[in-house]
Amino acid sequence: MANLDLIKQLNTCYGKSNPLQFERRYFSLNESLDPGNIQKAISDSIASLGPEFTRYFDYGLPADVVLLFIDVCNFSERYGELDGEEIGEYFDEFYNIVIPLIYKYGGEIDKIMGDGIICVFGPPFQNLTLNENIIKANNCSKDIIRATNNTIYSSKIAMHCGTINYFKNKSGLYREFTLIGKPLTELFRLESISNDQCINYYDDTDIRTFYEEIISSNNLVSRKAKWSHYQSEIDNLKGVTFERFYSIEYND
């Protein structure tokens, strides 16, 4: 998970309301370098955000979340000729498109890795059911695909859900919480086989159940006009037991 100070900075930059904006700070590194004092101050600082943050960040309770891995399609192949400054400008514009859409639906940034962004929908940032977060992540994903479709920022999205924990940095010097759990590994594997300009997700998940209900609904004809849904088999994907995944393609 990104450092909490970075999350706060991104929230402020892109205008997202978040308890971190009103967080009280209990220490500065100039005042004390005692790890014990710093660790206590961080716990007190997290407590000021509310019980949800304490529950998941301090006590490490499991959280049911939806994860998105948003990645520019074939960035290295398409834009390998760009110099460092041009790459920086490209990423800045890509982030300016994608991050506001993540925040629009209440998601939070976990990692930014150049041409890729991992974000999370779920506690403690959203106190919603898993299905409600799937709906949010679905709407966010479709907005991103529409916004980048057939542009220089065209993207693919791997979408997955499951139970994770937030692992607290033990040094006490960094307010950082790393997502850990099998769903994160499975998300990375899914991204590696995802189809371009599509939302991609595994079979036999709560996400699949959500889409099956949409597909069986009465307004299927109108939905199919905008989005195509197709299946792919998974062959020998390390660390993954899923046998197939699905891709949703936007028909502009």
**pLDDT of 147 above 50:** yes
Overall average pLDDT of the 32-61 stretch: 62
- Tens of pLDDT, residues 99-123: 999 999 999 999 999 899 999 999 9
* Pair type for strands 108-113 and 63-72: unpaired
- Domain coordinates in residue numbering, the chain: 4-250
Mean of per-residue pLDDT scores for the chain: 84
Q: What is the pLDDT confidence band of residue 14, given thresholds at 50, 70 and 90?
A: confident
> Cβ distance 197 to 250 under 8 Å?
yes
Query: How confident is the model at residue 8, as a pLDDT?
Result: 77
Full DSSP string of 174-201: S--EEEESHHHHHHHHHHHHPPTTEEEE
CATH class (in words) of the domain with range 4-250: alpha beta
> Cβ distance 144 to 248 under 8 Å?
no
Query: How confident is the model at residue 33, as a pLDDT?
Result: 47
Predicted TM-score of the model (pTM): 0.84
Overall average pLDDT of the 57-61 stretch: 80
Environment class of 231 (CB within 10 Å of its CB; exposed 0-12, middle 13-18, buried 19+): exposed
Residue 62 corresponds to which amino acid?
P
**pLDDT of 181 above 90:** yes
**pLDDT of 172 above 80:** no
Six token digits for residue 223:
């939905």
